[in-house]
């Protein structure tokens, strides 16, 4: 954990994997804050990306940062961390994310704090995301959040493929088979 970890750090991590692996026809999937990351990645390597899938994710516009568009819970955590001068905010519990009861202890054991700075740096977007023909938004039905509801509705209005899945926020944990079907469909 370091104050030097930024949104660019996460974008560069994924861009470098794509470049070093000579990946093409990538189905780029971002969950929650990961919507920022995949939006930045497609700006750097648009030719490598076949499809974009936002899974209960933030869909930023140019110049926005994570604090601008955070969910109510995310905003509270960020503001508390900033008030305390912390370099990270604590991870929410699996119960708060409405992960199924059988997997909650496992998920809690994998959760880590998130660096604050990743949510403070504005993202620079030039429209690469909109030039990807295959875009989808996956919304979990069992996790109430007006921010993700708004992005789901905007995606549907923009003609993206949209999917509603009976799961908590961590769709990949609660409904992995269904998410796999969706990723294959969007690919």
By CB neighbour count within 10 A (0-12 exposed, 13-18 middle, 19+ buried), where does 103 fall?
middle
User: How much is the mean pLDDT over the chain?
Assistant: 96
Q: Given this model, what pLDDT does residue 81 score?
A: 93
| Beta bridge partners of residue 11, listed in sequence order | none
Catalytic residue among 32, 51, 119, 167: 32
Whose structure tokens read 């039905």? 141
Whose structure tokens read 């926020």? 169
Q: What is the DSSP string of 115-143?
A: EGGGGTSPP---STGGG-SEEEEEEETTS
Q: Kindly list the structural domains of the chain, giving each domain's residue range(s) and its CATH number in brackets, ordered by start.
A: 7-186 (3.40.50.1820)
Q: Tell me whether residue 24 is one of the annotated catalytic residues.
A: no
Integer-rounded Cα Rg, in Å, for the chain is 16
The answer on pLDDT for 183 being more than 90 is yes
The answer on pLDDT for 165 being more than 90 is yes
Each residue's pLDDT tens digit, 4-25: 999 999 999 999 999 999 999 9
Each residue's pLDDT tens digit, 53-87: 999 999 999 999 999 998 888 889 999 999 999 99
Q: Is 164 helix (H, G, I), strand (E, B) or coil?
A: strand
- Asked if 111 contacts 89 with a C-beta cutoff of 8 angstroms, the reply is no
- Asked if 169 contacts 140 with a C-beta cutoff of 8 angstroms, the reply is yes
Q: Given this model, what pLDDT does residue 71 score?
A: 87
* Proportion of the chain above pLDDT 90, given as a percent: 95
Each residue's pLDDT tens digit, 144-159: 999 999 999 999 999 9
Q: Angle between the 34-44 and 7-20 helix axes, to the nearest 10 degrees?
A: 50
């Amino acid at each position: 954990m370091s104050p030097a970890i930024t949104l660019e750090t996460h974008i560069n991590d994924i861009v470098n994997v794509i470049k070093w692996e000579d990946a093409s026809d990538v189905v780029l999937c971002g969950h929650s804050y990961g919507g920022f990351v995949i939006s930045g990645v497609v700006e750097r390597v648009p030719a490598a990306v076949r499809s974009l899938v936002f899974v209960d994710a933030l869909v930023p516009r140019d110049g926005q940062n994570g604090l601008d568009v955070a969910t109510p819970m995310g905003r509270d955590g960020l503001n508390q961390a900033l008030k305390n001068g912390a370099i990270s905010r604590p991870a929410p519990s699996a119960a708060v994310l409405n992960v199924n009861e059988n997997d909650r202890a496992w998920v809690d054991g994998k959760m880590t704090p998130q660096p604050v700075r990743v949510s403070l740096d504005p993202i620079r977007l030039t429209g690469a995301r909109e030039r990807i023909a295959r875009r989808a938004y996956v919304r979990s039905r069992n996790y109430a959040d007006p921010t993700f509801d708004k992005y789901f509705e905007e995606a549907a209005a923009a003609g993206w493929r949209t999917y509603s899945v009976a799961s908590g926020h961590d769709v990949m944990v609660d409904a992995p088979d269904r998410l796999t079907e969706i990723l294959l469909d969007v690919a």
